[in-house]
Amino acid sequence: MEDRRLAHFSIRLIAEALLAAIALVAIATLARMFLTFVFAQSLPYATFFPAILLATLYRGPVAGTAATILALGATWNYDIASSLGYQDNVSSGSKIAFAIAGGTLVWFATLYGRKVEALERVDRERQLLLNELEHRSKNKLAVVQAILGLSMSDRDEANVISERVRAAIDTERLLGDHKATTLERLVSAPSWAYGASRLKTRGPHVEVPAHVARALSMIFHELTTNAAKHGALSTAEGHIEIEWEKAGSLITLVWLERGGPEVCSPTEHNFGTKLITKTLSLLNGSIEANFDTSGLRCTMTFRID
């Protein structure tokens, strides 16, 4: 039964290929008649090459080969312009050359089609893998949150660590479609939950490699978390302005908070500050924080190479 279904399927594909070849060659023949009439000269094969190419690309080598043979048959004793006084005799040498050119076109078009199919298959497999990785990341995050909740007595600290893990996972998801992402997407992602109107960004388009993006995501998540707890995002009127400049591979970025409560310089460096400083040092960068009464201003430099 299975063999019979496969045989029926193969016959149907061959029939569809032949019908496609016949239709395309018929259209090409009509086009040849029209062009010969318009230009009053012989154009024996000009319209058949596109027909062969389309037949091969959309219906495979069987359709392409059939289109080549049909085109040869259409021009073998073809004298389209005889009634107009123009001779349209096609030499045997031209027919042989057309057959060789048509066969070569079918071959290259078949190779191209197979390459496209292979790339599409790889892309589908890659997307399937990314979906599976994203699913597993969500499961791992749930496990980590559960472990932290059971193991740590300080619930707030457990939540902070969980959010940092979530930031890393969210960035992996952000990087899922491309090897690199943009700086604008990285600085905006942690603030999406607070509304687009509360974040203003300005700067040139900057492509950020994956390994740099992972580090920067942790920094921007830490700054956003602090802004939500103590800074501009802790009030309804507050907002964040982020501006950056690019000089070669060196990025200078300014993080400016406005509309929040008055801030003051911390008496000691907490875990978040150490995290930002250490992460920037890995990118050959540094940070200068100014705790002005109107809001925090951070100037960061780092490299993206």
Evaluate the CA torsion angle 245, 249, 252, 253 in order and state its sign. Answer: positive
List phi, psi (to 5°) of 203. Answer: 165, 165
Q: Which amino acid is at 151?
A: S
CB 189 within 8 A of CB 170: yes
Pairing type for strands 286-292 and 207-209 reads unpaired
pLDDT tens digits, one per residue of 173-232: 654 545 678 888 888 877 666 667 788 999 999 999 888 888 888 888 888 888 888 888
pLDDT tens digits, one per residue of 243-282: 999 999 999 999 999 988 887 777 666 777 888 888 899 8
May I ask the CATH class of domain 178-303? Answer: alpha beta
- State which of 42-56, 258-272, 277-291 shows the largest mean pLDDT: 277-291
Evaluate the CA torsion angle 196, 202, 205, 211 in order and state its sign. Answer: negative
* Helices and strands: H and E segment counts in the chain: 8, 7
Provide the phi-psi class of 104: left if phi over 0, else alpha when psi is between -120 and 50, else beta.
Answer: alpha
Residue ranges per domain, the chain? 2-120, 178-303
CA distance 183 to 216: 9
CA angle 34, 39, 45 (to 5 degrees): 65
Q: Which residue has the higher pLDDT, 211 or 299?
A: 299
pLDDT value at residue 12: 79
pLDDT value at residue 84: 45
**pTM of the full structure:** 0.48
CB 303 within 8 A of CB 286: no
pLDDT value at residue 20: 84
